[in-house]
Structure 1
Amino acid sequence: MTQAQAAPRTGTPKGFRSAELSWPELHRIPRPPRRIPFLGDVLGADVSAPVQDSMRFGRRLGPIFRRKAFNNEIVFVWGADLAAELADESRFAKHVGLGIANLRPIAGDGLFTAYNHEPNWQLAHDILAPGFSRAAMEGYHPLMLDVARQLTSHWDEQASASRPVDVPGDMTKLTLETIARTGFGHDFDSFERPTLHPFVNAMVGALSYAQRRNTVPPVLSSLLLRGATKRNVVDREFLNSTVDQVIEARRANGEAGSRDDLLDMMLRTAHSETGERLSTENIRRQVLTFLIAGHETTSGALSFALHYLSRNPAVLARARAEVDEVWGDSPTPAYEQVPRLRCIRRILDETLRLWPTAPAFSREARHDTTLGGLHPMRQGAWALVLTLLLHRDPAAWGENADEFDPDRFTPKAVRARPAHVFKPFGTGARACIGRQFALHEATLVLGLLVRRYDFTADPAYRLKVAERLTLMPDGLRLGLTRRTAEARSEA
């Protein structure tokens, strides 16, 4: 996004308002059978994987359904037609609820977690939008290449020793270093460490804690989450202090205004119309937002993509042939060569279709309205769009919607599909501001990896997906073999 868009304006956030009050005819919406008083729809529920659990219920109950846990009743939507309605910005806006609201103690009114009425969202968006322009992206490209070289150097060592690589762990290191260096001029030295940086551990802890709070009733949270809450306080303090050190180092070294990265923009830029500037506290919140959201989702997308490529040799061969043709033997592909990898981009899109690493987003009614011509919603009523299931709706994607097929994203196939059925980055004015950054980084890295390595999958491995607000393959390891120049020329 290169142009600021007006922030949606709705009333004061209503939090987890009763679904019975905000959806007047809630009884029309299917729910699981055998609801237990006070506990809700807990029979057969899997609290360790609530999103995938809701996906399972959604397949049985239909394109709109509801689930209740204790006093919270949530309306889920995944049907393509209903999701298209919820994408209408004149009727609906982003709703900050569930796990997103649980991140506000860390990210506050950052771009991802701000309520619609909070002015810092629009201020930060207007200030930061130029940081995701084409010119800015071209400036980030060399730094992305440098971090990718750190990854391939590490993978070369693993390949030489015939050791499998920890795909999610290494993708996390890669994407954290990329956003930290391009956006904030900071190096976490991730590839110099035998384990993940403590910042990553604190971040994963914070995300996991936010997810757990979704499944525990507030009246019991002080008891059931006592230890986790104490750890979360420590994690939050570590995240804050780390970012404060990055900001203060930039100021102390007199470098503000010299790097022209995201941190510079926040430190030196006033709003072009109002003259307002971001406060130090809000700058910290924005940095945390980018460090967390800017690497967590991309690392998941790359990990899932490598999983599918390792198990689909024909797709891998096509992708590799494209990279060899477009890039040749150049060790440093130019910025403009990356978008030419159309097959790689289709692989990433298909990966994000099957496993959107941000698996859901919430929408709330701007005014009283009716969804699907059948379900009245009062102003402020909200629904959770289950992207994970929307992307598998047979009405939009066909009866084989659970199969991996990058050709779903050929130009002809995309034109033939209805709008609003592919939403890995959310929707509307509050959609992910860093979408093009993430896609350029992921396309570049995946192109480099398929050109350099053959992948060997563990035949005993079955994809297991970990949930910590975002989705990530759990326990995915791959064997590597360096491709030789002869193998590239024969391909």
Structure 2
Amino acid sequence: MDTTAIPHRPGRLPVLGDLIGTNVRTPLQSTMRAGAGLGPIFTRKFFGLEIVFACGIDLVTELNDESRFGKHVGLGVERLRGVAGDGLFTAHTREPNWRLAHDILQPAFSAEAMRRYHSTMLEVAHELTAAWDRATGPVDVAADMTRLTLETIGLAGFGYRFGSFERAEPHPFVTAMIRALRFAQLDNVKLPFVRRALAGSSAQNQADIATMTDLVDEVIEARRREGGEARDLLGLMLAEGHPRTGEHLDPVNIRNQAITFVVAGHETTSGALSFALYYLTRHPELLEKARAEVDAVWGDREPAFGDVAKLRYVRRVLDEAMRLWPTAPGYSREAREDLVLGGKYPMRKGDSIIVPLPMLHRDPAVWGPDPEKFDPDRFEPAAVRKRPAQAYKPFGTGERACIGRQFALHEAVLALGIMLQRYDFEADPAYELKIVESLTLKPSGFTLRPRIRERAAELTSAGR
């Protein structure tokens, strides 16, 4: 792509490019700092590799036009193919298994399927509250949200228990996954000693991938032995053919899809819940507003499936948390043909541009003069209708947008509602938000002390 008309940060050096001042542990946050003040499009360059970023609403609206652009699998996502192969997230759209798996798995996210998953989501949420009821000190929020969402996708999607709340340390799958994601993130680093220090060796990465694939293979083999007519994700992949052609997924792709859903199905939702709790506990008036809605809509009873969608303010809290820190923080688009972006930037077929979502979600042209302010009322229906359609994209865009969006949102609203229904929270006033990156985003070192609310304690003692 011809980048001569695209700005970049001052001080670019020969060979190193924009490396000085870049933190390889936090490439997204480094990009946000580097791009501040440069406008709706800018570049960064490292050892001859120049990357184009677009964060202005007008350019992103063009990039999201499916007739002109499609998903680009590159950089970190391309490296993830070593973990998830041609799974739904990492597959090239041209690969036949993408369309095949997408069409086979769509019924797993229908309204009927969501109703089936609800009881499992409740069951796992009660495992969380049981753990928090026993807690005698602060809890690590991101770690417990990871336990919650890992158990949920394991049970709802595959009938498998990771036993996360029975372990003091993360499940080995999670430990291996975190290292593998970090290795993929840092695979572009041209200094091998830096990459090894931060992400481990290639041998360690292969061992981590083996840990993940071995577990998934065990789960798949157990289901094959059991048989049955389960309509969860794994059941559909094993038993269903394409609705039009009857073609089935091959065993390797089933493994790839299973890894994709376990990783993507819990990493992003756990981050969204963690950020929502962070912002609510920093804004007590908003926390009380959210809790008042839960008390008014659910009262003291266990929520039924239809009760979750009634928590409209709680949903807005999550939407606003994902605006500021979308846990899948960007996507890349490639030109389907030679074209000119924004009437100014020539692109050849196959040229790609990254959309850094935290920057798009802070575009003052859309979000006003104070885009850093946490304000769930940005997602009131009237405000949403006034915004450009492409201004908010936490689940990606177009035909490659997240297939599990409704699953994630139902799980997150249900879990946050249950936490608000049961607990008051004591936060550490000295904590300052620190974000850890491993292709997804989470707050690091964020703890809360959950205290059972008086009304909840009374219900517990009465034998609820």
| Pair 382,486 (structure 1): closer, same or farther in 2 beyond 3 Å | closer
Find the residue that maps to 1:60 and give its secondary structure: coil
Aligned to 1:383: 353
The one-letter code of the counterpart of 1:290 is F
Counterpart mapping for 1:129-278 below 5 A: 129-158=106-135, 161=136, 163-214=137-188, 216-217=189-190, 220-221=191-192, 224-225=195-196, 227-255=200-228, 257=229, 259-278=230-249
Structure 2 alignment gaps of length 5 or more: 460-464
How far the C-alpha of 1:253 sits from its partner, in A, is 2.0
Inter-partner Cα distance in structure 2 for 1:472 and 1:47: 16
What residue is the counterpart of 2:105 in the other structure?
128
For 2:330, give the aligned amino acid: A
The residue type equivalent to 1:246 in the other structure is V
The equivalent residue for 1:289 is 260
- Which of 324, 330, 339 is equivalent to 1:360? 330
CA distance in 2, matches of 1:444, 1:247: 28
Matching residue of 2:90: 113
Once the two structures are TM-superposed, the CA of residue 487 in structure 1 deviates from its matched residue by 9.6
Amino acid at match of 1:241: D
> Are residue 418 (structure 1) and residue 395 (structure 2) matched?
no
Q: d(CA) in 2 for partners of 1:221 and 1:464?
A: 26
Q: CA deviation at 1:224?
A: 4.9
Contact 2:9 2:35 in 1 (8 A): no
Map of 2:64 onto structure 1: 87
Q: Secondary structure at the match of 1:112?
A: coil
Of 277, 294, 312, the residue aligned with 1:306 is 277
SS at match of 2:36: helix
Amino acid corresponding to residue 132 of structure 1 in structure 2: F
> Which residue identity lines up with residue 405 of structure 1 in the other structure?
D
Give yes or no for the alignment of 1:339 onto 2:316.
no
Aligned residues: 457
Per the TM alignment, residue 42 of structure 1 is displaced from its structure 2 partner at its CA by: 1.4
Residues 303, 488 of structure 1: CA spacing in aligned structure 2 closer, same or farther, 3 A cutoff? farther
1:275 is matched by which residue type in structure 2?
G
Deviation of 1:275 after TM superposition, in Å, equals 1.7
* 1:117-173, Cα deviation, whole Å (9 max, x unpaired): 100000000000000000000000000000000000000111xx2x00110000000
Cα distance in 1 for partners of 2:426, 2:46 equals 42
**Matched AA of 1:247:** I
In structure 1, C-alpha distance between the alignment counterparts of 2:152 and 2:457, rounded to whole Å:
30
Distance 1:58 1:35 in 2: 13
How far apart are 1:384 and its partner, in Å?
0.2
Equivalent position SS for 1:402:
coil
1:453-474, CA deviations, whole angstroms, 9 ceiling, x for partnerless residues?
A: 1111101100000000000000
The aligned residue for residue 462 of structure 2 is: none
CA contact (8 A) 2:436 2:443 kept: yes
Identity percentage over the alignment?
58
Q: Secondary structure at the match of 2:389?
A: coil
1:4 alignment partner in structure 2: none
Task: Note closer, same or farther for the CA distance 1:57–1:249 as it changes in structure 2 (3 Å cut).
Answer: same
In structure 1, which of residues 319, 322, 335 is the aligned counterpart of residue 290 of structure 2?
319
> Could you tell me which residue of structure 2 aligns to residue 16 of structure 1?
none
* Distance in 2 of aligned mates of 1:247 and 1:254: 11
| Structure 1 residues 486 and 131: alpha-carbon distance in aligned structure 2, compared to 1, 3 A threshold | closer
Task: Note the C-alpha offset of 1:371.
Answer: 0.8
Q: Which residue of 2 aligns with 1:10?
A: none
Say if 1:324 and 1:488, in contact at 8 Å, map to a contact too.
no
Q: In structure 1, list runs of 5 or more residues that go unmatched.
A: 1-22
Q: 1:223 to 1:398 in 2, by over 3 A?
A: closer
How far 1:44 sits from its partner (Å)?
Answer: 1.8
Hey, what's the Cα distance between the residues in 2 that align with 1:488 and 1:393?
47
Partner of 1:13: none
The equivalent of 1:102 in structure 2 is: 79
Question: Contact between 2:327 and 2:440, CA under 8 Å: does it hold in 1?
Answer: yes
Contact kept in structure 1, 2:330 and 2:357, CA below 8 Å: yes
1:223 Cα deviation after fit: 8.7
**Deviation for aligned residue 1:225:** 3.2
Quote how far apart the aligned CAs of 1:486 are.
8.3
Displacement of 1:36 in angstroms is 1.6
1:365-393: per-residue Cα shift (whole Å, max 9, x none)? 00111111100111000000010100000
Root mean square deviation of aligned Cα: 1.5
CA contact (8 A) 2:422 2:456 kept: no
Cα displacement string for residues 219-270 of structure 1 (whole angstroms, at most 9, x for unaligned residues): x548953942121111000100000000000111233x2x211100000001
